[in-house]
């Protein structure tokens, strides 16, 4: 485990914001590695819709699909540590689909936002079949907010901040999609 942790820390140097290392005392955190995302398109998935979501830096129009690595046990009040959810937004020909993810990392990670969740942007760079983690952490780095229609990216870190919108679903453990409402699962 120690090797894996130092490896992911080394990969993150220079790129990751507010990276909190694995806590061996609690043992209750899950640090997703790039390899954990590789086959996300084979996970349970839901077609979410294609209308734009209102709000500063929100989700512009484009077909959206949500993938989850495993559904929580019936009756759960939270998504278990280790839950990985990816949302793909496909604006159609000419633009690479945008893949955003949230992973239940646990502990007190992101304590002031979507508690326990880490945010990700993953990409298949230049058509590479391997998914690459572009950024991870508490908030998108400058220039990496949600892409607006036509491929522009938000120019500051506040626009498209993941925690702000997802706070609206704090009673569903910060998960917004209507297919993933805990009390209905
Ligand atoms: C303007 C509001 C808004 C912002 C900002 C936002 N989201 Fe979302 N997100 C939503 C909504 C609404 C859904 C439900 C699915 C849908 O309608 O697209 C959602 C769904 C998701 C999902 C699928 C799991 C779920 O909660 O349903 C992921 C993963 C996700 N968003 C990641 C992100 C990331 C990463 C960021 C920051 C880069 C972000 N979101 C910022 C509104 C937002």
- Parse the chain into domains and list their residue ranges: 2-184
- Pocket-testing residue among 176, 178, 180, 182, ligand 1, by greatest number of atoms within 8 A of Cβ: 176
Average pLDDT (90-111) is 87
Contact 108, 115 (CB under 8 A): yes
- Is residue 122 within a helix (H) or strand (E), and if so which, with residue range? strand 117-123
Determine the distance separating the centroid of ligand 1 and the alpha carbon of 122, expressed in angstroms.
14
Determine the distance separating the centroid of ligand 1 and the alpha carbon of 34, expressed in angstroms.
20
pLDDT tens sequence across 41-84: 999 999 987 766 655 445 556 788 999 999 999 999 999 999 99
Least confident of 21-25, 29-33, 138-142: 21-25
Query: If you write DSSP's letter for every residue of 133-157 in order, what string do you get?
Result: EEEEESSPPTT-SPBPTTS-B-SSS
Please state, rounded to an integer, the average pLDDT across all residues of the chain: 79
pTM, full prediction? 0.82
Which among 55, 12, 4 is positioned nearest to 141, based on CA atoms?
Answer: 12
Contact 56, 8 (CB under 8 A): no
Asked whether residue 15 carries a pLDDT value surpassing 50, the answer given is no
More confidently predicted of 180 and 140: 180
Average pLDDT (1-5) is 49
Query: If you write DSSP's letter for every residue of 11-50 in order, what string do you get?
Result: HHTTT-SSPPPP-TTT-------GGGGTTGGGSEEEEEE-
148 — phi, psi (to 5°)? -85, 175
């Amino acid at each position: 485990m120690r090797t894996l942790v130092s490896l992911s820390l080394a990969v993150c140097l220079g790129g990751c914001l507010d990276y909190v290392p694995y806590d061996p005392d609690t043992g209750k955190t899950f640090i997703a590695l790039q390899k954990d995302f590789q086959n996300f398109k084979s996970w349970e998935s839901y077609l979410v819709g294609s209308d734009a979501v209102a709000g500063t830096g929100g989700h512009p129009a484009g077909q959206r699909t949500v993938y989850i690595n495993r559904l929580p046990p019936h009756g759960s009040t939270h998504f278990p540590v280790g839950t990985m959810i990816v949302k793909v937004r496909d604006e159609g020909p000419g633009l690479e689909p945008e893949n955003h993810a949230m992973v239940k990392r646990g502990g007190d990670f992101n304590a002031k936002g979507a508690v326990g969740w880490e945010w990700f942007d993953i990409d298949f760079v230049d058509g590479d079949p391997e998914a690459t983690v572009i950024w991870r952490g508490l908030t998108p780095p400058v220039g990496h907010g949600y892409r607006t229609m036509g491929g522009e990216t938000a120019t500051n870190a506040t626009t498209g901040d993941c925690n702000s919108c997802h706070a609206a679903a704090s009673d569903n453990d910060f998960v917004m999609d209507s297919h993933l409402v805990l009390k209905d699962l």
